[in-house]
Chain A
Amino acid sequence: MKRLQTDAVLLSLIEHMESKGSWCGETHIQKTCYLLEELFEDQLGLEFIFYKHGPYSFDLSDELTAMRADNIIKLRTKVQFYGPSLLPAENSQLIKNTYPKTIKKFEPIVKFISENFSSYGVPTLEKISTALYVTRKEDTDGSVGDRSMAIHKLNPHVTVEEARKTVKSIDLIIENAKGISFSTT
Chain B
Amino acid sequence: MAALFHDTGHLPFSHAAERELLPDDWNHEMLTAEIIRSDEMIKIWNDLKIQTEDVVKLAIGKRYCKDCNFTDWEAILSEIIVGDALGVDRMDYLLRDSHHTGVAYGKFDHHRLIETMRILPKSYNDGSKEPALGVEDGGLHAVESMLLARYFMYTQLYFHRVRRIYDIHLKEFLKKWLQNGFFPTDVENHLQTTDNEVLAGLFKVVRDQTHPGHEYAERIVTRNHFRLLYDRKQEDISKNLEAPKAIYNELCKKFGEKNVRYDTDKQRGGDSDFPVYLNSNRRIVSSLSISDVLPKIPIAAIDFIYINSNCRSTATKWLNANRERIIKPSTEE
Which chain A residues have a beta carbon within 8 Å of chain B's beta carbons?
A: 4-5, 23, 26-27, 49, 51-53, 56, 58, 61-62, 64-66, 68-72, 75, 77-84, 90-91, 94-95, 97-102, 121-123
Contact = CB atoms under 8 A, between A and B. Distances in A.
Query: What are the 6 closest A-B residue pairs judged by CB atoms, nearest first?
Result: A69-B299, A69-B301, A121-B126, A77-B288, A61-B270, A122-B124
A77 B238 contact: no
Given A68-B299, A70-B237, A70-B241, A52 B332 contact: no
Given A71-B234, A83-B286, A98-B331, A123 B126 contact: yes
B269 interface: yes
B43 interface: no
Given A65-B267, A69-B267, A81 B285 contact: yes
Contact of A80 (B128, B238, B286): B286
Interface string B274-314: 00000000000110111000010011110000000000000
Contacts of A56: 62
Given A83-B273, A100-B332, A122-B125, 11 more contacts: A52-B75, A61-B269, A64-B270, A65-B268, A65-B269, A69-B267, A83-B122, A83-B289, A94-B241, A99-B332, A122-B126
A4 B288 contact: no
Contacts of A5: 332
Contacts of A123: 124, 126, 128
Contacts of B123: 81
Contacts of B269: 61-62, 65
Contacts of B46: none
Contact of B286 (A62, A70, A71, A84): A84
28 contacts: A5-B332, A58-B63, A62-B266, A62-B269, A65-B266, A68-B299, A70-B237, A70-B241, A75-B295, A77-B286, A79-B289, A80-B285, A80-B286, A80-B290, A81-B285, A81-B286, A82-B125, A82-B289, A84-B289, A94-B329, A97-B331, A98-B331, A98-B332, A99-B331, A100-B331, A100-B332, A121-B126, A123-B126
B329 A98 contact: yes
Contacts of B333: 101
Nearest to B71: A52
Given A23-B125, A70-B301, A101-B332, A77 B295 contact: yes
B210 interface: no
Contacts of B270: 26, 61, 64-65
B149 to A, nearest CB: 18
A47 B289 CA distance: 30
A51 B71 CA distance: 9
Contacts of A75: 271, 288, 295
A82 B239 CA distance: 34
B72 A52 contact: yes
B101 interface: no
B295 to A, nearest CB: 5
Contacts of B242: 4
Given A70-B241, A94-B238, A122 B288 contact: no
A102 B332 contact: yes
Interface string B124-149: 11101010000000000000000000
Nearest to B275: A83
A71 B299 CA distance: 10
A122 B72 CA distance: 17
A84 B287 CA distance: 9
Contacts of A61: 269-270
Given A70-B237, A70-B241, A82 B268 contact: no
Nearest to B127: A81
B317 interface: no
A30 to B, nearest CB: 10
B128 A91 contact: no
Contacts of A70: 237, 241, 301
B70 interface: yes
Contacts of B331: 97-100
Contacts of B240: 94, 98
B189 to A, nearest CB: 29
Contacts of A23: 125
Given A100-B331, A102-B332, A121 B124 contact: yes
